[in-house]
Amino acid sequence: MDKKYIDISENIIEENKELIPAPSASSDGSDEPKDINYWRSFRELYNDPSFRKEKSMEFHPGELDKPDLNTFSKFSRRKFLALLSASAAVAASGCSNYRDKGELIPYNKKPESVTVGNPTYYASTCTGCSSACGILIKTLDGRPVKVDGNPDHPVSKGKICAIGQASVMSLYDPERLKNPVERVNRVSPNNMDWKTADEKIIAELKSAAASGKEISVITHTVNSPSLKKLFDEFAKAYPTAKVYSYELFEDTPRNSAWEKCYGSKNYPLISWDKANIILSLESDFLGNEGNKVETSRLYTSGRDAINGKEFNRLYSVEGNASVTGMNSDYRLILKTDAIEEFVMCLLNELAGKEKISSYSSDAGIMSKLQSFNLKSFAEKYNLSEEVINHLVSDLKKNQGASYVSAGSMLPESTHIAVNMLNEVLGNSALYKKEVSNVKVMPLSTREELENLVSDLNSGKTTVVIHYDSNPVYHLPPDLGYADAVKKAKTIVSLSESDNESSNAGNYVLPVNSMFESWGDYQTRNNFFSLQQPVIAPIYNNRQKEDILMTWISGNPDSYNSDSYHKFVMDNWKANILSSAGTDSDFNRAWYAGLNDGVVMVSKKEAAAQEGENVPAPEVFNPASFVSNTSSMRSKDGFSLLLIKSGALGDGRHANNGWLQELPKPVSRIVWDNYAAISVQSAKALGVDSNDNISITTQSGKMDIPVFVQPGMADGVLAIELGYGRTVCGTVGLDAGFNANVLMTKNPALSRWFYNDVKAEKSSGKYELVSVQDQYPMDEPLYKDIQYRREIIQEGTYLQFKENPDFLHDRHTKYSEEETFKLKVGSINEQYKHTGTKWGMVIDLNKCIGCNECVAACSVENNIPVVGKEQAKKHRSMQWIRIDRYYSGTPETPKASFQPMLCQHCDFAPCENVCPVAATTHSADGINGMAYNRCVGTRYCSNNCPYKVRRFNYFNFRDHFKDGIQLEESFTLMQNPEVTVRSRGVMEKCTFCLQRIMDERQMAIQENRQVKGSNVKTACQEACNTNAISFGDQNDKESDIFKLNNSKLAYHVLEEIKVKPNVTYLAKLRNVYEIEKEEAHH
Amino acid sequence: MNKNLPVSNNNTGSGILPEKLNRKKFFVFTGLAALGIAAASVIPFNLFRSNTPKPAASLKIKENPNAVKRKSKEANSELNNG
Amino acid sequence: MKNFLIDYNLKVRLPILLFVVLAVFAITYYVSYAERVGVGYQPVQPIAYSHKLHAGDLKIDCRYCHSDVEKSRHANIPSPKVCMNCHSIARKDRPEIIKLTDYYTRGIPIEWKRIHRVPDFAYFNHSVHVNKGIDCSNCHGDIAAMEVVEQVKDFSMRACLDCHRNPDQTIKNITPGKDKKLINNGPTNCSACHR
């Protein structure tokens, strides 16, 4: 027997015989074996006869009975469905006519100068901050849709910062105040009408003036001559009125140092374009210091590789990792409190040892410098001796053509030392003599603010007017303003939207935004700038100055929306344009001024205007330096830097979604602020990014998450201010942390720089969202990946001068023919683009990574705000981004910035794979997108090697913050020339196709060829440094043709041969060492 | 047919094929349907539409008449830029 | 038995399926034809303006009222101000003119019913076409003969492309004073109209 298995069942049965119950003869006569171990009910167990009977029946009684139809509803399923469909059909037919195409509603009386569909431009002034840059507002159908710089404005010269670009969103913010509000018991707001408001407030003002109680008007910088005059009139009408002005960020240390050194109150303007060597000491002049629009333009005029001018060289010595530092050629990482010592060591080196200046013979100065030694300083702080030697020799060689810039946050003593250094180096040649800053009204001093607070506390001040300012949020908490102001009897806030200060008061009055206001501004002595409204007030708001004029008159019925306009005109007729003799001459000059936005002032008039703002005499007072005492050294703990936010300013733009979503250039974090800390310090504290730390200064304590920032000095914390708003619209409410609590009114050094700050690990985590993840820089896989893949190609300036072809010499294999030969089995024929071929060149030498192009593109192309959660998932919809790559070590990194946008590849990998041909290439080189065809496959984004395609995972307008972007006012903000995309479609940069089509329209209208240089893309227009050029690559005369064929031109990811139409010009670092750069290959 | 093959006895065609529709009934039905559609397309259902006006936009945009429009975007070459 | 199933599917189910598909397709095609193509839409306007009288009998040029057609993407509907150029005096006792004057004096814009509409995702530019000499009547028909304006031309993308690809055949009227030779084949790449 061939048994494949062994049957052991019989054995088992044998063994277990006793366990199997034998069929016992049961007493009840049933013939089935009963298993007493399993029973379902007592009835079974006890052998109930009825149970046994049931067991034999298949169907129980009643189961098979036919249903009683009378119990059912009269309405059968069939009938129900028929009725449902019929009623749906009737309802559908009753709907609107499917042929209805809406209405066409023209003007009732069309102004002749308006051409429907063509934009109108108005020159005006931006009041997003106190710089008052000139802007051109573009309106379509009477609605402002875009803001760009005014080319006639001598400071901004056609450019504007991100805050100005995004300011349209503030105009159309649905959370703006719409009606005057009375806050009964300062708690519950009640709408009221203007007349009542004016009556009540005038009554309060009059009673305060009559009883000798002070009326405090608190405002930001007054840089308007007419407003100053108006305040004077206000003071005449209410003699107890006093005006206080403040800013969260001021230049007080710099200006007071200047006063001590030179006697005048105004720090001069600097000719950055004449400086060959720039030394930045914690001075972020390319980021958020001074007038960045002007400074960055002047700085990058010295970094033009194509036009042959010699490069300037930027040295940066800083504790924070700022944009300026990351753009510098040489960077020394030094804890901020040691910077003053560094300056003294430099002075000793230059004036003492090298004896380069006449001051070297001054005994007082020399004795002061004796104790400092640059070499030992460098050893002590671990600074590269080579770099220091280069710095010293460069400064020596470029006397009179260099500039040392000290950061605004550094204390006065450091500024005095730096002034001395600039003197020694002869850099006073760079101080502009004929053009200078002008202060229409100086800011209030600390004593004045303290007096204000004490008057409030004592009851001497009973009326407070917040004139479009937010002192409860901005002023240092230990000044006690927030508590003191509550003691005032009447608090009136004139504001565009609710803020912390208006929330404390009785009356909140909505005021006009900068698009709806008249005004004039003077920031420099050689011109005046005018502001005109392009749109009538959207809500029930009024211009601040008009409100003031009603109060001055004392009669609430006297309000006239044109009163301030007349006031400014009268002021100009009397004072500024007084040289115009007749009325018609004045009118001509006035309207010309409004047309240009700027009125230049002749030298004679400038001198007359200045008064106490005399230009700096060239005499430096060495005694100021000798008597300078420094207390800058920290004993222990951290040095804390409080920095101005590039996007939010001092916090007033917190409700602007576009600005909140603008990534910070170096850390690429959106929507929050954080405490930046160095790698080693983080390890010492035992924290990592997203961990909370608690910071204690002499005035306050706060918890804030930490972000480990490569390139920071150990022992330094840097926090951006302007976040953590508690009363603001829904957009800005949960963004960041309020670091104003760390400021003190009486700082030892300066309000934005604190020593001996305690920081320790705190509990909890907070997720910071960075749109560019920190990759592990030291890992071999990631190290220098941007160089290995030749995304960033860099060289040194000396290398370029020696061998201009150095970049292309590296890649001889990528010639045109080889490209084709190597491309095995190309599925694309090489299409010859004759005619117009649009292309873009981005000069990486000029790109400083400021992210302004991102803001401009968002405004021009109706980019939705996605919010923090979606940004975390890398779903932010910005069509252009500035990638920031690190190289080197986390302690001493180098950063490279690169704007990345759709490259409009001629062999686009995205176009081949779209199943519905929604993305196609046009004969003029544009990769276009037909949104209505897109079905959302996302294959194109998958294929894109540059990852520039953005997919609408949601209708973000609906998704973000409960659909705030769908509010009526935001629909007015959108550019009608660009499709508004909805959920499920892919979008990307279109090279501003709408602007190209405008140029085509003009060309056909004027019967000429399309001229590439007439088209300016939004990003190109916005870039402060003119890093982006756009135009017709086939036009041999154009700039872009020359740039495309320049020696520094390269394509990103050239080796995959997609033939992009965006060319980059390699960044040249102006360093002495050539060998170091070669090491990358 | 092999009688040994397993064949179900349930799916004979007898239960599935519907009873033949009366030809006359069919044409009457389709004819009336066609008439109905033609009639429906002519009847102006618009009369039944309630003319609720669209909610007027609450925001009114008005240009400021005193603002001076700028002729071109280009820089004014006559302006003396310091 | 096997034959029966195939037989049943072929003879009964397949024809029914085909019939249903064809019927649905045909009904959808013809019912939506009007909306798709737009031809024949002739809505009632708030003021019974007659193009036949003004453009036809009085021979007023289209561009007198639709003045921005050569300068902008849109051919603007004239504001009542243009009408009042004549009608502040001409026929000012007629009921329609009284209606018009009322709109003008009260400052209320007239809500004309839109007849010709290209969908929002396509951006049509009038000035580009008009400046090349393509007369208004090529797309809008013989407006000068219409009492009430109706749409006569198919406004689907197919119709636009027919003309772009073959302007010689499709364009019948050239604006007097313009050269027919100016008109080349129009752009057929997507980005010409779809932004």
CATH number assigned to the domain comprising residue A243: 3.40.50.740
Is residue C11 situated within a structural domain? yes
Number of domains, chain A: 6
Is residue A96 situated within a structural domain? no
Q: What is the mean pLDDT of residues A270-292?
A: 93
**Residue A442, SS3 per DSSP:** coil
Domain boundaries, position A189: 181-250+440-526+538-561
| C173 or C35, higher pLDDT | C173
Please give the model's pTM, rounded to 2 decimal places.
0.86
Is residue C15 situated within a structural domain? yes
Domain boundaries, position C12: 2-31
CB atoms C1 and B16 under 8 Å: no
Q: What is the rounded CA–CA span in Å between residue A293 and residue A286?
A: 8
Is residue A631 situated within a structural domain? no
Which residue in chain A has the smallest CA separation from C32? A98
Is residue A410 situated within a structural domain? yes
Is residue A78 situated within a structural domain? no
Is residue C14 situated within a structural domain? yes
Give residue A1078's pLDDT: 42
With vertex at residue A94, the alpha carbon angle to CA A91 and CA A97, rounded to the nearest 5 degrees, is: 135
> A295 and A203, same structural domain?
no
Residue A543 predicted with pLDDT over 80: yes
- pLDDT tens digits, A1051-1064: 998 888 888 999 99
Q: What is the mean pLDDT of residues A525-529?
A: 92
Average pLDDT, chain A: 88
> Pick from A430, A463, A484: which residue ends a domain?
A430
Q: Which residues of A662-689 are buried (b: 16+ CB within 10 A; e: fewer)?
A: bbbbbbbbbbbbbbbbbbebbeebebeb
Q: For position A313, which CATH number holds?
A: 3.40.228.10
| A814 or A268, higher pLDDT | A268
Is residue A880 situated within a structural domain? yes
CB atoms C8 and B7 under 8 Å: no
8 Å CB contact between A127 and A167: no
For residue B10, which residues of chain C lie inside 8 Å, CB to CB? none
Give residue A815's pLDDT: 57
Of C94, C163, C111, C101, nearest in space to C134 by CA: C163
Is residue A49 situated within a structural domain? yes
Give residue A604's pLDDT: 61
Give residue B13's pLDDT: 53
CB atoms A115 and C123 under 8 Å: no
Q: Does C33 touch chain B (CB under 8 A)?
A: no
- pLDDT tens digits, A223-257: 999 999 999 999 999 999 999 999 999 888 999 99
Q: What is the mean pLDDT of residues A278-303?
A: 93
> A418 and A554, same structural domain?
no
- pLDDT-based confidence at residue A21 (cuts at 50, 70, 90): low
Residue in C73, C128, C190 nearest the CB of A920: C190
Give residue A772's pLDDT: 86
Residue A685 predicted with pLDDT over 90: yes
- pLDDT tens digits, A574-619: 988 887 778 888 999 999 999 999 999 876 665 555 555 555 556 7
For residue C124, which residues of chain A lie inside 8 Å, CB to CB? none
**Residue A399, SS3 per DSSP:** coil
Give residue A942's pLDDT: 94
Is residue C142 situated within a structural domain? no
- pLDDT tens digits, A544-553: 999 999 999 9
> Pick from A430, A460, A487: which residue ends a domain?
A430
Q: What is the mean pLDDT of residues A8-34?
A: 64
- Portion 12-31 of C in contact with B at CB < 8 A: 12
> A403 and A303, same structural domain?
yes
Q: For position A650, which CATH number holds?
A: 2.40.40.20
A194 vs chain C: nearest CA distance in angstroms?
26
Interface partners of chain C (CB pairs < 8 Å, 3 or more) are: A, B
Which residue in chain C has the smallest CA separation from B11? C1
Residue A138 predicted with pLDDT over 70: yes
- Portion 93-122 of C in contact with A at CB < 8 A: 103-104, 107-117, 119-122
Instruction: Output the six-digit token pair for A852.
Output: 């302004």
CB atoms A922 and C68 under 8 Å: no
- Portion 35-54 of C in contact with A at CB < 8 A: 35, 38, 41, 43
Of C153, C84, C63, nearest in space to C116 by CA: C153
Give residue A90's pLDDT: 75
| Helix, strand, coil percent content, chain B, rounded in steps of 5 | 30, 0, 70
Q: What is the mean pLDDT of residues C81-94?
A: 91
Q: Token pair 């700039």 is at which residue? A: A1039
> A402 and A277, same structural domain?
yes
Q: What is the mean pLDDT of residues A554-564?
A: 90
For residue A136, which residues of chain B lie inside 8 Å, CB to CB? 70, 73
Give residue A46's pLDDT: 77
8 Å CB contact between A448 and A244: yes
Give residue A281's pLDDT: 96
- pLDDT-based confidence at residue A779 (cuts at 50, 70, 90): confident
Number of domains, chain C: 1
Residue in A111, A123, A526 nearest the CB of B70: A123
Residue in B61, B64, B79 nearest the CB of A152: B79
| A482 or B47, higher pLDDT | A482
Flag the least confident range among A11-15, A261-265, A886-890, A923-927.
Answer: A11-15
Q: What is the rounded CA–CA span in Å between residue A575 and residue A592?
A: 17
Give residue A1080's pLDDT: 41
Interface partners of chain B (CB pairs < 8 Å, 3 or more) are: A, C
Average pLDDT, chain B: 71
Is residue A186 situated within a structural domain? yes
> A414 and A329, same structural domain?
yes
- pLDDT-based confidence at residue A59 (cuts at 50, 70, 90): confident
B7 vs chain A: nearest CA distance in angstroms?
28
Q: What is the rounded CA–CA span in Å between residue C97 and residue C84?
A: 9
Residue A811 predicted with pLDDT over 70: no
- pLDDT-based confidence at residue A935 (cuts at 50, 70, 90): very high
- pLDDT tens digits, A1001-1019: 999 999 999 999 999 999 9
- Cα distances (angstroms) measured from residue A404 to each of A283, A395, A398, A848: 9, 10, 12, 19
Is residue A623 situated within a structural domain? no
Residue C194 predicted with pLDDT over 90: yes
Contacts of A97 (CB under 8 A, 6+ apart): B46
CB atoms B81 and A154 under 8 Å: yes
- pLDDT tens digits, A152-178: 999 999 999 999 999 999 999 999 999
Q: What is the rounded CA–CA span in Å between residue A731 and residue A175?
A: 9
Half-sphere exposure of C36 (CA within 13 A, CB side): 10
Is residue C18 situated within a structural domain? yes
Of A314, A313, A311, nearest in space to A280 by CA: A314
| A97 or A528, higher pLDDT | A528
> A677 and A721, same structural domain?
yes
Q: Does C4 touch chain B (CB under 8 A)?
A: yes
Residue A1076 predicted with pLDDT over 70: no
> A918 and A1043, same structural domain?
yes
Residue A1081 predicted with pLDDT over 50: no
Instruction: Output the six-digit token pair for A215.
Output: 């009326």
Residue A64 predicted with pLDDT over 90: no
> A766 and A739, same structural domain?
yes
Give residue C39's pLDDT: 87
Sign of dihedral through CA atoms A835, A836, A838, A843?
positive
Give residue A436's pLDDT: 87
CB atoms B82 and A142 under 8 Å: no
- Kindly tell me the number of DSSP H helices and DSSP E strands found in chain A: 40, 38
Which residue in chain C has the smallest CA separation from B17? C8
> A887 and A976, same structural domain?
yes
Give residue B82's pLDDT: 38
Residue A387 predicted with pLDDT over 90: yes
> A547 and A463, same structural domain?
yes
Give residue A925's pLDDT: 92
Give residue C124's pLDDT: 94
- pLDDT-based confidence at residue A189 (cuts at 50, 70, 90): confident
Is residue C91 situated within a structural domain? no
The 8 Å CB, 24+ separation contacts for A47-54 are: A52/A28
